[in-house]
């Protein structure tokens, strides 16, 4: 499905949230709160408005958003956007040994930080992703929360640009 900005700008709130609510993983509240920033002249302007909603939300709400993201290389059912992104990075084709490494790293990361490892995987392969996991495990909670927010901004920018024609 592709949408153009004029259509998005003319949508009633309910339809706007329906169309854009999945951009931020299982968090339609982001689209709902960005609605009043219309009209948007570009997809980047819409994205900026949505990211500002997250940045200005409470720490608890940010952590809840982080926790909505699936583990990378998971075998449980995940959202459509995440499924396509992980498939594009080859995470659906791991050997049993690779799957075990990712599972162990995901557990270690979540155990330390309290939310899953978040990375914009577009353009990356499994070795890039594993290297990022290993590099970031030594970060502080504050560093990882900032990095998670930055990665979510990258992920959602890709998603919006895939969805919107200007």
Q: What is the pLDDT of residues 110-129, one digit of tens each?
A: 999 999 999 998 899 889 99
Q: Is the pLDDT of residue 146 over 80?
A: yes
What is the full DSSP assignment across 18-84? HHHTTSSTT-HHHHHHHGGG---SSHHHHHHHHHHHHHTS-HHHHHHHHHTSPPTT--S---HHHHH
- Reduced to 3 states (helix: H, G, I; strand: E, B; else coil), residue 162 is helix
pLDDT at position 148: 97
pLDDT at position 166: 74
pLDDT at position 89: 64
pLDDT at position 79: 63
pLDDT at position 5: 94
d(CA 136, CA 115): 13
Confidence (pTM): 0.90
Annotated active-site residue 69? The verdict is yes
User: What does the CA dihedral 119, 104, 99, 68 come to, rounded to 10 degrees?
Assistant: -40
pLDDT at position 110: 96
Taking residues 37-65, report their average pLDDT.
97
pLDDT at position 38: 97
d(CA 84, CA 64): 22
Taking residues 73-86, report their average pLDDT.
63
What is the end-to-end Cα distance of the chain in Å, rounded?
14
Phi then psi dihedrals of residue 165, to 5 deg: -105, 135
pLDDT at position 118: 95
Rounded to the nearest integer, the mean pLDDT of the chain is 90
Q: Which of 26, 47, 69, 161 is catalytic?
A: 69
Q: pLDDT higher for 6 or 94?
A: 6
pLDDT tier at 95 (50, 70, 90 boundaries)? confident
Taking residues 96-109, report their average pLDDT.
91
Q: Nearest Cα to 33, choosing from 119, 145, 23?
A: 23
pLDDT at position 93: 79
């Amino acid at each position: 499905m592709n949408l153009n900005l004029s259509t998005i700008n003319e949508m009633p709130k309910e339809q706007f949230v329906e169309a854009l609510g999945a951009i931020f993983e299982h968090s339609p509240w982001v689209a709902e709160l960005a609605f009043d920033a219309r009209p948007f002249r570009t997809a980047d302007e819409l994205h900026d408005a949505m990211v500002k909603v997250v940045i200005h939300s409470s720490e608890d709400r940010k952590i809840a958003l982080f926790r909505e993201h699936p583990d990378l290389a998971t075998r449980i059912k995940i959202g459509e956007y995440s499924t396509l992104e992980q498939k594009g990075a080859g995470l659906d084709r791991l050997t049993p040994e690779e799957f075990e490494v990712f599972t162990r790293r995901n557990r270690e990361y979540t155990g330390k930080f309290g939310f899953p490892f978040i990375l914009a995987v577009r353009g990356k392969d499994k070795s890039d992703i594993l290297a990022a996991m290993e590099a970031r495990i030594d970060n502080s909670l504050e560093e990882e929360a900032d990095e998670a927010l930055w990665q979510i901004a990258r992920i959602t920018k890709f998603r919006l640009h895939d969805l919107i024609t200007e």
